[in-house]
């Protein structure tokens, strides 16, 4: 089946990143994960899952308004 195994840490990172990508407030995600400080959530569990061109388009759209 060629299924890649992922550690629970990687699954947790994917889950947190998906919540943040969906626009869930960082404080809600932080509380759910049991982190005292949002920096823990952002620095250790969040990663960019989008392509460079998608990021650039989003930045241009945000600045156009």
How large a percentage of the chain has pLDDT more than 70? 98
Q: pLDDT tens digits, residue range 9-32?
A: 888 988 999 999 898 999 999 999
- The predicted structure's pLDDT at residue 58: 85
Residue whose C-alpha is closest to residue 43's, from 63, 64, 15, 13: 13
- The predicted structure's pLDDT at residue 2: 79
Cβ-count burial 7-21 (b if 16+ within 10 Å, e if not): eeeeeebeebbebbe
């Amino acid at each position: 089946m060629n299924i890649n195994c992922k550690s629970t840490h990687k699954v947790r990172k994917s889950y947190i990143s998906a919540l943040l990508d969906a626009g869930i407030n960082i404080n809600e995600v932080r509380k759910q994960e049991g982190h005292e400080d949002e920096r823990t959530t952002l620095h250790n569990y969040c990663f960019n899952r989008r392509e460079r061109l998608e990021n650039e388009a989003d930045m241009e759209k945000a600045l156009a308004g």
